[in-house]
Amino acid sequence: MAVALRTNLGKLVLQNPVMVASGTFGYGQEYARLIDVNRLGAIITKSITLKPRAGNPPPRIWETAAGMLNAIGLQNVGVEAFIREKMPFLRSLKGPKILVNLAGESVAEYVELARRLDGVEGIDGFELNISCPNCDRGGMEFGVDPALTRQVVRRVRRVTTRFLMPKLSPNVTDIVAIAKAAVDGGADALSLINTIVAMAVDARRRTPRISTVKGGLSGPAIKPIALRMVWQVSRALPQVPLVGLGGIMTATDAAEFLLCGARAVQVGTASYVDPTTSVRIVDELAAYAAQQKVKQVSRLVGALQS
């Protein structure tokens, strides 16, 4: 049975619901050495900031039980070098939509970034990183406060007509309140979840495992939490397109997110484990849909029987 993989997030049409998560896929070119990146639904770039950023001192990562703790600190080349050096390759891709992930320390920085990138050819939209747990200022500050979330989304909304998708932080008590604020601010869609603030300890040396002490936890360990949050938000805001992420390793994991109400998914840490994960999930998701006797993958969205 042929299965239609095409899906949409409002005005943004995707050839399939499989995206790659920000920070885990560089700027596309790195993985193009091993997989056909044209087969992806969307590529979300590593977070871009106005100025180049050095990032945090090492050690920056630590493996935990079924997870990975990181505190990279948004090391990146800055928006101008991104446009000059990274966009030509991304622009050359015909299959995936290109979403640029924006990170700022102030509302003004998010606005300036969006304004600078708004006219750049080959960008289909923006994911707003209002949930980075690894920077001193900005980042997660915005994503844990409904009023700030609404404000930053609204201000960015004013300077771009492109697809706008805030990425929500799981480090909140009421994810639905944040989701509502982001939609209120003018978001076209929401992606959730970013990493969970966590830490790991070296008991022998009595030191934290990563230099910043706290970091963001990703990988299979966080999938149950991510599923719960997607489910909560989709129940509260059934009309809002959601993109689910957190620990997706297989097509079955991806399907679980669709069933909980996500219209698309992002593959993150799994790309480190196996660079072919994202494109394999594209194929296997079709097989799963066929098995479920569903002709369109989009029919699985929110189809959890509860």
Partner 1 sequence: MTTDLRAGLGSLTQRRARVTAHRRVACDHYLLSLACAPIAHTAQPGQFVHLRCSPKPLWHGGGPLLRRPFSLYDVDRRQGTCHVIYKVVGLGTASLHAVAVGEALDLIGPLGTSFVAGGSVRHAVLIGGGVGIPPLYFLAKDLVKGTRDKGQGTRMKVEVSVFLGARTRDWLICEQAFRRLGVSVHVATDDGTAGYRGSAVDLVRRHLSTLHPSPFTWVYICGPTPMMQAAAALAARRGLPAQVSLEERMGCALGVCMGCAVEIAGPHATAHKRFQRVCTEGPVFEAEAAVWR
The site for partner 1 (CB under 8 A) is made up of 23-26, 30-31, 33-34, 46, 51-63, 66-68, 70, 72, 75-78, 81, 219-220, 249, 269, 271-276
- DSSP states of 280-302: HHHHHHHHHHHHTT-SBGGGGTT
Bridge partners, residue 266, by sequence: 19, 245
CA distance 302 to 235: 9
Return d(Cα 266, Cα 248) in angstroms, integer. Answer: 8
- Cβ 49 to partner 1, closest distance in Å? 10
* Residue number, 86 or 263, with CB nearest to partner 1: 86
CB of 299 to partner 1, least distance (A): 27
Please state, as a whole number, how many other Cβ atoms lie within 10 Å of the Cβ of residue 274: 12
* Residue 100 host element (H or E): strand 97-102
Cβ 51 vs Cβ 205: under 8 Å? no
Task: Report, in Å, the least distance between residue 23 CB and partner 1.
Answer: 7
In the bound state with partner 1, the residue whose beta carbon lies nearer, of 10 and 55, is 55
Rg of the chain in Å (alpha carbons): 18
**Other beta carbons within 10 Å of 306:** 6
Assess whether 135 carries a catalytic annotation: no
Which is closer to partner 1, CB of 27 or CB of 163?
27
Instruction: Kindly name the residue from 44, 123, 128, 132 that is annotated as catalytic.
Output: 132
Give the whole-angstrom CA distance, residue 266 versus residue 19: 4
- The residue with tokens 């007509």 is 161
Residue closer to partner 1 (CB basis): 53 or 157 = 53
CB of 34 to partner 1, least distance (A): 5
The residues annotated with a catalytic role in the active site are 132
